[in-house]
Amino acid sequence: MSSMPLRDLTAIVTGAGRGLGRAEALELARLGAAVVVNDHGEGSAKAAGEVVAEIRAAGGRAVAHTGDVADHATAGALVDLAVTTYGKLDVLVNNAGILRDRMVFSMSEAEWDAVVRVHLKGHFNTTHFASVHWRERAKAGGAPVHGRIVNTSSEAYLAGSAGQPNYAAAKGGIVGLTTSTALALAKYGVTCNAICPRARTRMTRDVFAGFREPAGGQELDPLSPDHVAPLVGYLASPAASGVNGQLLVVHGGMVAVMEAPRVAAKFDTAKDQFSYEELDALLTPYYAGRPPGETFAAAGVLSLSRD
């Protein structure tokens, strides 16, 4: 297999000036892709420029873009930059995000709106413009194209996170966007998958403050973004053409494929429609027999680790 499976492909990575996005951009470039490095916020131009310089110094191709992908027009300009600079777009990695952590009873409307806007709307905006590009190319060429979307969800959605109702909701929405997009774009040759990465970055340093960091740099941090980037590279590649609409958890040398929810129990009314009394007679004993505190959240995902 070629050591540069992404040769002649063009990728966009949002939020790529630092942390997880930076690691993903470097990995895609290492695998041969030309990379548009997007970042936003204070110091974004410098951060994105440094990633571009690092890619170019290693012999790769890259260009910087600074702008807020949660702004619809800005997201369109980002996709246009990739197409005008490199001729086409092949890979979109949606990574940009922010945190505004607070319990639901303390959260302000602004804190809710900001997180949902950046994560969920930001994912939609770039996906919209990329999908238009791929659909037009596929129709013009009369054949499917190579299109890859890698979205960023979170274990906060899977397992629940009491102090992150905005973040968990946005990340759950991203999974819904992922599965819908996967079905909508499959006929054009485009796949869309989501990852739940666990990584120590500037954004998550408080979240993972209790996790041990390696002493003296003698070992790779289990929460290093470098554990996540290779999976993104794989999902962006031709080898992953059969992977679509999937959700994968990744961290510390481990990848777990999540299974779709299954029906745990089913109840039918004995009459034409349910009454309160009948539901009480069926559901109350059923839930009484379930483990205390069990919810739809998949809390077990938090205990996953490399064997």
Which residue, chain included where needed, has tokens 């979109």? 92
167 catalytic? Reply is yes
Instruction: In whole angstroms, give the CA distance from residue 27 to residue 11.
Output: 11
Q: Please provide residue 195's backbone torsions phi and psi, each rounded to the nearest 5 degrees.
A: -120, 150
Nearest to 196 by CA among 152, 262, 160: 152
The one catalytic residue in 44, 131, 167, 224 is 167
What region does 299 belong to: left with phi over 0, alpha with psi -120 to 50, or beta? alpha
The one catalytic residue in 131, 153, 157, 171 is 171
The one catalytic residue in 154, 161, 224, 237 is 154
Question: What 3-state DSSP class applies to 194?
Answer: strand
Asked if 58 and 29 count as a contact pair (C-beta separation under 8 A), the reply is: yes
Asked if 102 and 111 count as a contact pair (C-beta separation under 8 A), the reply is: yes
DSSP state of 61: -
171 catalytic? Reply is yes
Q: Which two tokens stand for residue 262?
A: 């299954």
Q: Say what the alpha-carbon torsion angle 270, 271, 276, 281 is, to the nearest 10 degrees.
A: -20
Asked if 168 and 154 count as a contact pair (C-beta separation under 8 A), the reply is: yes
Question: Would you please indicate which residues are annotated as catalytic (active-site) residues?
Answer: 154, 167, 171
